[in-house]
């Protein structure tokens, strides 16, 4: 309790004054001087006070005088007449001014001083006025002066108005002014500087106008859905070869004052009337004969296409534009009944060719109907299976396939219906399967695959979990198939082009720089398994392996991971293109062999084929299956594979050249490149590329020391000298010198004081924390009290306002 009181008096006081900079200083004379007695202190303080009162505040102020007194009273206070009593008082003899004071203030002070009022004879002089009468007289005089000033102000205002009226009368006479040149001014107006011009431009600058708010994704999707429904209804109407239905037009409301004069004559159906031999003759239209042959056929089509009612003229000038109207909404509802699909997407304006429009009794031309029938629908439902998706996309061009997939996504946006999310998640798997079918087709349609990656990426961004599950499922099937092949035959072959494209797409859809990713990490393992377990037995396998190397480098481009399987595969490809297998300075690792059937698969010995070869990119179609090639084409393919391998080696050198382990693993690459340059078994272009790769490898700095054996301390020989061990008695202080004992005592005291200081600091911190908490609770309580008081006052005001309103309503 005592310690807490001490903290309250010391630590709490410092805490409360932590933000205050003012300090009280005791400047009393001799307060802290014990050699002076209290009587001397009081005398000296009184003397200093008197001296401070009588001394001038400023030595340069000549008007500052000492205060004059009379009988202990200040003359300034006496002149204020505070002791004069009101004359209205009932007390006799009080409130009357003395004769001396009256004569001094009101008598002019020049005559003799009169005596008392009772001793003077009453003559014609007026009695002296009291203070109140004087004040009232002063007030009356000030009011009179104020009225005089007001009268003067009104007179001045009247004169000013009269002057203004006279000026208006003579202003017309001064309207004709002489030109500036004749006036003789001769002063030219100064040209505005850059600042003035900028200020004027800013003054005339257009101000920002408020714009409409940005629409949400759900609102945009809903608008696109309505547009596509309307466009699909228009397409179906044109496909059936008819104009807008008569029953689709809703009757418009006509007011009683409507004169019905808003109609427009679309065609001039007037006829020329003439008489011949006393009979009336009406001239027919020139196109009547030409169209008469098809009248029966058109009537037949009309009977088939229309069940009841007939076409009606459109309000729009062309009749085929996709406008928002009641008829369009009715057509959209009818289109939903015919097609049965939910729609949403981008707006595509579809118009018929030509500017002519059929009259209210005619059908659309056959060419327009055929064009509308051949046009893609605007609304699509999400396919329930991959076969349904193939039926929608098969037989269409690349642009049409992309348009169909895009409209499927837009028409079934997740914000439009509850089940659209699950449908679009299935669509991602269907698109993957469709891409695999395109990859294994003969020839593979790589252009469509490249374009379909965009909708795949959009779906992956919308549903990342389902997309990752679909990609993992595809890769898992491929790996299970390869493991089954290894278990049965003991070796595995490179997968088809579909699996390779899946691996490439996975790197485009998901981030490859993560330390661990649920899709990319299994894909990296799959790529490493392909490079270590699949032997190269044909040119097709070589192309597939190089494609896997390219995908591998794309995966690790950002993370800069070192892949030893990649270096080993590139070394094996270079080994297959090397003629001299005897002088090897390296060792090959599985799946490559130093000698064997396919050890010279990429070796080219024909000099004519080397001379005619030109470096170009390696087509990915060759990974799907090589057609029958001549020997020259096969040699060109081998040289292209070798060029691609050297380019990959250069990328590896630039990416991993500074790593300590790269130079040890890249020794086979250096030996193979040196062998290629020595034997000159490749074209000059490849030799130059090999030389540049070797130069890059030599120029890479090495930031490590060579490996050496660790230096260990030599083991000493065993000696027979006994080893003396000091036995310590724990619990008792051992004998030592006085200095050591003092040192131990000081160390023990330091530890004890240190622990005590730490303990006190902790207690101080706890005390301050409690104080802060109490302050916070007090502030919160005060805030709650004020908020409650405000709410109560507002409730009272609201009740009073409602009562007043109710009272007014009753009145």
pLDDT of residue 356: 40
Backbone φ and ψ of 275, nearest 5°: -120, 135
pLDDT of residue 146: 92
pLDDT of residue 87: 45
Question: Residue 629, SS3?
Answer: coil
pLDDT of residue 30: 84
HSE at residue 558, side-chain half, CA atoms within 13 A, is: 9
Q: Is the pLDDT of residue 664 over 80?
A: no
Share of the chain above pLDDT 90, in %: 23
pLDDT of residue 225: 79
Q: What is the mean pLDDT of residues 532-553?
A: 91
Q: What is the mean pLDDT of residues 681-688?
A: 83
DSSP string, 589-615: -TT--SSSTTTTTT----HHHHHH---
Cβ neighbours of residue 670 under 8 Å, at least 6 residues apart? 694, 697
Which residues share a beta bridge with 275? 280
Q: Which residue has the higher pLDDT, 729 or 614?
A: 614
Residue 401 neighbours by CB distance under 10 Å? 21
DSSP string, 691-748: HHHHHHHHHS---SPPP-PPP-PPPPPP--SPPP-PPP-TTSPPP--HHHHHHHHHHH
CB 497 within 8 A of CB 623: yes
CA distance 94 to 90: 8
Q: Assign 3-class secondary structure to 158-192.
A: HHHHHHHHHHHHHHHHHCCCCCHHHHCCCCCCCCC
CA distance 446 to 303: 49
pLDDT, tens digit (0-9, with 9 covering 90-100), for 130-187: 888 888 998 999 999 999 999 999 999 999 999 988 888 887 777 655 555 554 455 6
Report, in this order, helix, strand and coil percent for the chain, each rounded to 5.
Answer: 55, 0, 45
pLDDT of residue 309: 35
pLDDT of residue 313: 38
467 band by pLDDT with thresholds 50, 70 and 90: very high
pLDDT of residue 544: 92
Q: Is the pLDDT of residue 785 over 90?
A: yes
Q: What is the mean pLDDT of residues 469-473?
A: 93
pLDDT of residue 723: 74
Q: Is the pLDDT of residue 592 over 50?
A: yes
Q: What is the mean pLDDT of residues 10-28?
A: 81
Highest mean pLDDT among 607-616, 669-678, 769-778: 769-778
pLDDT of residue 257: 58
Question: Residue 276, SS3?
Answer: strand
In this structure, what token pair is assigned to residue 190? 């100064």
CB 655 within 8 A of CB 560: yes
* 732-741 burial code (b ≥16 CB/10 A, e <16): eeeeeeeeee
Q: Is the pLDDT of residue 749 over 90?
A: yes
777 band by pLDDT with thresholds 50, 70 and 90: very high
Residue 377 neighbours by CB distance under 10 Å? 19
Of the listed ranges 5-14, 107-116, 263-272, 720-729, the least confidently predicted one is 107-116
What is the pTM for the complete model shown? 0.49
pLDDT of residue 712: 79
Q: What is the mean pLDDT of residues 222-235?
A: 80
pLDDT, tens digit (0-9, with 9 covering 90-100), for 480-520: 998 888 888 877 889 999 999 999 999 999 999 998 999 99
Backbone φ and ψ of 418, nearest 5°: -75, -45
Highest mean pLDDT among 107-121, 339-353, 439-453: 439-453
pLDDT, tens digit (0-9, with 9 covering 90-100), for 249-285: 455 555 555 555 555 554 555 666 666 665 666 555 4
CB 573 within 8 A of CB 647: no
| Cis peptide, bond prior to residue 591, ω within 30 of zero | yes
Of the listed ranges 103-117, 414-428, 573-587, the least confidently predicted one is 103-117
In this structure, what token pair is assigned to residue 684? 């000059």
CB 563 within 8 A of CB 528: yes
pLDDT of residue 371: 73
Highest mean pLDDT among 657-671, 680-694, 765-779: 765-779
pLDDT, tens digit (0-9, with 9 covering 90-100), for 291-306: 333 433 333 333 333 3
Angle at 160 between CA 154 and CA 166, to 5 degrees: 140
Q: Is the pLDDT of residue 350 over 70?
A: no
CA distance 498 to 647: 25
CB 613 within 8 A of CB 684: no
Q: What is the mean pLDDT of residues 583-601?
A: 77
Q: Which residue has the higher pLDDT, 366 or 36?
A: 36
Which among 541, 557, 721, 562 is positioned nearest to 641, based on CA atoms?
541
Question: Residue 295, SS3?
Answer: helix
CB 618 within 8 A of CB 543: yes
What is the Rg, in whole angstroms, of the alpha carbon atoms belonging to the chain?
55
Cβ neighbours of residue 800 under 8 Å, at least 6 residues apart? none
pLDDT of residue 774: 94
Share of the chain above pLDDT 70, in %: 69
Q: What is the mean pLDDT of residues 303-310?
A: 34
pLDDT of residue 280: 62
Q: Is the pLDDT of residue 622 over 50?
A: yes
Which among 453, 446, 502, 494 is positioned nearest to 476, based on CA atoms?
502
In Å, what is the CA distance from 69 to each residue of 76, 549, 667?
8, 114, 117
Averaged pLDDT score across all residues of the chain = 75
Q: Is the pLDDT of residue 357 over 60?
A: no
Cβ neighbours of residue 634 under 8 Å, at least 6 residues apart? 539
The H-assigned helical ranges of 441-585 are 446-462, 464-489, 497-509, 520-533, 539-555, 564-576
Q: Is the pLDDT of residue 631 over 50?
A: yes
CA distance 717 to 512: 59
pLDDT of residue 113: 45
* 494-520 burial code (b ≥16 CB/10 A, e <16): bbbbbbbbbbbbbbebbebeeeebebb
DSSP string, 745-768: HHHHHHHHHHHHHHHHHHHHHHHH
Of the listed ranges 363-377, 539-553, 618-632, the least confidently predicted one is 363-377
pLDDT of residue 517: 92
Q: Is the pLDDT of residue 788 over 60?
A: yes
In this structure, what token pair is assigned to residue 28? 């009393």
Residue 372 neighbours by CB distance under 10 Å? 20
pLDDT of residue 747: 94
pLDDT of residue 63: 57
pLDDT of residue 503: 94
- DSSP state, 111? S
Please state whether beta strands 279-282 and 273-276 pair in parallel, antiparallel, or not at all (unpaired).
antiparallel
pLDDT, tens digit (0-9, with 9 covering 90-100), for 411-439: 888 888 888 889 999 999 999 999 999 99
| Cis peptide, bond prior to residue 362, ω within 30 of zero | no
């Amino acid at each position: 309790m005592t310690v807490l009181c001490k903290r309250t008096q010391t630590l709490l006081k410092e805490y409360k004054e932590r933000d205050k900079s003012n300090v009280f200083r005791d400047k009393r004379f001799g307060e802290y001087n014990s050699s002076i007695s209290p009587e001397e202190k009081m005398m000296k303080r009184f003397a200093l006070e008197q001296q401070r009162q009588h001394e001038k505040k400023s030595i340069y102020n000549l008007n500052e005088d000492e205060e004059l007194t009379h009988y202990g009273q200040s003359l300034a206070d006496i002149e204020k007449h505070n002791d004069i009593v009101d004359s209205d008082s009932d007390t006799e003899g009080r409130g009357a001014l003395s004769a001396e004071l009256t004569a001094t203030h009101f008598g002019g002070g020049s005559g003799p001083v009169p005596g008392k009022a009772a001793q003077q004879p009453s003559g014609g002089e007026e009695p002296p006025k009291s203070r109140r009468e004087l004040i009232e007289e002063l007030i009356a005089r000030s009011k009179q002066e104020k009225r005089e000033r007001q009268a003067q102000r009104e007179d001045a205002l009247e004169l000013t108005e009269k002057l203004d009226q006279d000026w208006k009368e003579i202003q017309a006479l001064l309207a004709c002014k002489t030109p500036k040149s004749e006036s003789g001014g001769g002063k030219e107006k100064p040209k505005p500087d850059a600042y003035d011009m900028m200020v004027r431009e800013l003054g005339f600058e257009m101000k920002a106008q408020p714009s409409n708010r940005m629409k949400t994704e759900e609102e945009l999707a809903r608008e696109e859905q309505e547009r596509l429904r309307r466009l699909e209804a228009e397409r179906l109407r044109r496909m059936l070869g008819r104009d807008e239905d008569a029953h689709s037009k809703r009757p418009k409301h006509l007011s009683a004052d409507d004169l019905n004069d808003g109609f427009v004559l679309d065609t001039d159906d007037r006829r020329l009337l003439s008489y011949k031999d006393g009979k009336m003759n009406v001239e027919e239209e020139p196109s009547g004969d030409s169209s008469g042959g098809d009248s029966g056929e058109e009537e037949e089509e009309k009977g088939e296409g229309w069940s009841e009612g007939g076409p009606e003229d459109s309000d729009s000038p062309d009749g085929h534009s996709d406008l928002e109207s009641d008829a369009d909404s009715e057509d959209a509802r009818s289109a939903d009944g015919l097609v049965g699909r939910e729609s949403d997407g981008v707006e595509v304006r579809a118009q018929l060719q030509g500017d002519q429009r059929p009259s209210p009794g005619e059908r659309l031309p056959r060419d327009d109907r055929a064009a509308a029938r051949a046009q893609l629908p605007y609304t699509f439902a999400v396919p329930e299976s991959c076969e349904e998706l193939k039926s929608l996309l098969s037989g269409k061009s690349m642009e049409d396939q992309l348009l169909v997939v895009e409209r499927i996504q837009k028409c079934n946006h997740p914000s439009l219906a509850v089940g659209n999310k699950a449908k679009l998640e299935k669509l991602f798997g269907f698109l993957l399967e469709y891409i695999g079918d395109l990859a294994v087709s003969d020839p593979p349609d790589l252009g469509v695959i490249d374009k379909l990656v965009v909708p795949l990426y959009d779906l992956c961004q919308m549903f990342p979990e389902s997309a990752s599950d679909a990609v993992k499922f595809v890769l898992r099937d491929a790996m299970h198939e390869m493991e089954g092949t290894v278990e049965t035959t003991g070796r595995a072959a490179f997968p088809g082009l579909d699996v390779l494209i899946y691996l490439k797409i996975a790197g485009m859809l998901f981030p490859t720089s993560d330390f661990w990713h649920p899709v990319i990490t299994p894909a990296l393992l799959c790529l490493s398994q392909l490079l270590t377990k699949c032997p190269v037995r044909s040119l097709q396998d070589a192309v597939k392996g190089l494609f896997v190397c390219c995908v591998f480098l794309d995966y690790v481009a950002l993370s800069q991971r070192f892949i030893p399987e990649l270096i080993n595969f590139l070394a094996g490809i270079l080994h297959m293109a090397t003629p001299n297998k005897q002088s090897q300075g390296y060792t090959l690792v599985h799946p490559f062999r130093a000698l064997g059937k396919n050890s010279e698969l990429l070796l080219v010995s024909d000099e004519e084929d080397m001379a005619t070869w030109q470096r170009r990119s390696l087509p990915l179609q060759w990974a799907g299956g090589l057609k029958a090639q001549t020997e020259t084409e096969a040699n060109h393919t081998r040289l292209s594979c070798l060029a691609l391998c050297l380019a990959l080696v250069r990328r590896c050198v630039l990416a991993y050249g500074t790593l300590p382990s790269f130079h040890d693993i890249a020794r086979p690459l250096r030996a193979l490149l040196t062998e290629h340059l020595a034997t000159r078994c490749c074209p000059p272009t490849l030799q130059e590329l090999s030389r540049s790769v070797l130069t890059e490898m030599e120029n890479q700095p090495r930031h490590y020391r060579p490996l050496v054996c660790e230096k260990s301390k030599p083991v000493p020989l065993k000696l027979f000298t006994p080893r003396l061990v000091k036995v310590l008695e724990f619990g008792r202080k051992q004998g030592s010198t006085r200095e050591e004992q003092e040192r131990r005592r000081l160390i023990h005291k330091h530890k004890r004081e240190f622990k005590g200081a730490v303990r006190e600091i902790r207690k101080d911190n706890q005390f301050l924390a409690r104080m802060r908490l109490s302050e916070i609770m007090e502030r919160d309580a005060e805030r709650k009290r004020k908020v409650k008081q405000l709410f109560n006052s507002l409730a009272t005001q609201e009740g009073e306002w409602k009562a007043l309103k109710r009272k007014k309503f009753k009145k």
